Chain A
Amino acid sequence: AQSVTQPDIHITVSEGASLELRCNYSYGATPYLFWYVQSPGQGLQLLLKYFSGDTLVQGIKGFEAEFKRSQSSFNLRKPSVHWSDAAEYFCAVAKYNNNDMRFGAGTRLTVKP
């Protein structure tokens, strides 16, 4: 089955600094890849997704992610972090029809003033 690893449990960045959250996946075929964000006490919100085509995908809230097949990675980036970005971020991978989406353990982002 497919799986996802998020190597960083917790990351702290200063407001205005750039951000990169790492995601590595394991799946034999071309995966469907997703990034979700979860604010405290809330459900998950989809930030962006990759199915095929351009390997650099743009999402909401100024986030982008790049699919690198050779590295089995789908890292999330943002050029300038805002205090409101503090949350937990989940990477997910799915097969076609995504009825068995697998999530990483999450990365908690803290933003320093």
Chain B
Amino acid sequence: DAGITQSPRHKVTETGTPVTLRCHQTENHRYMYWYRQDPGHGLRLIHYSYGVKDTDKGEVSDGYSVSRSKTEDFLLTLESATSSQTSVYFCAISESGEGGYTFGSGTRLTVV
């Protein structure tokens, strides 16, 4: 999607290794979000950010941490990946507290 990119697009990693996913935006939006998508669950919020260095937990935050040192970048880290974290991860941005989100194209993460 225009203005928001996720990297990498695909990653295979081993259980117990750390993994960092990156979300980069060029829209200068205040809010950024990390979701995971799993069959039968829709999308579930992991963490979100409402400004530089301002983050909060979402519905499924255990095992994940985030950082936002710049407006444009929001990093999601799996400190020690587990097979249950195999999923598709989406980043989203929002300009304000209203309006819908703009989503990135996703990162498919496989933990073996």
Residues of A within 8 A of B (CB): 1, 4, 6, 32, 34, 36, 41-46, 49, 51, 90, 92, 96-106
Query: What is the CB-to-nearest-CB distance from B95 to chain A, in angstroms, rounded to a whole number?
Result: 11
Q: A34-B100, A98-B97 known; A90 and B105 CB under 8 Å?
A: no
Instruction: Name the one of B42, B103, B106 contacting A106, with C-beta atoms under 8 angstroms.
Output: B42
- Chain B interface size range: 20 to 34
Alpha-carbon separation in the docked complex, A95 to B104 (Å): 22
Residue of B nearest to A104 (CB): B42
Say yes or no: B99 contacts A100, CB within 8 Å.
no
Chain B 77-112 per-residue mask, 1 if CB under 8 angstroms from chain A, else 0? 000000000000010101001111111111000000
Say yes or no: A103 contacts B43, CB within 8 Å.
yes
B residues 37-84 in Cβ contact with A at 8 Å = 40-45, 48, 50, 56, 58-59
Say yes or no: B103 contacts A103, CB within 8 Å.
no
Say yes or no: B45 contacts A43, CB within 8 Å.
no
Q: Is the interface of A mostly helix, strand, loop or mixed?
A: loop
Query: What is the CB-to-nearest-CB distance from A57 to chain B, in angstroms, rounded to a whole number?
Result: 12
Q: How many A-B residue pairs have CB under 8 A?
A: 63
Say yes or no: B42 contacts A99, CB within 8 Å.
no
Residues of A within 8 A of B105 (CB): 41-43
Alpha-carbon separation in the docked complex, A85 to B95 (Å): 28
Alpha-carbon separation in the docked complex, A105 to B90 (Å): 15
Residue of B nearest to A106 (CB): B42
Residues of A within 8 A of B102 (CB): 46
Residues of A within 8 A of B35 (CB): 103
Alpha-carbon separation in the docked complex, A75 to B15 (Å): 41
Alpha-carbon separation in the docked complex, A51 to B31 (Å): 19
Residues of A within 8 A of B94 (CB): 98
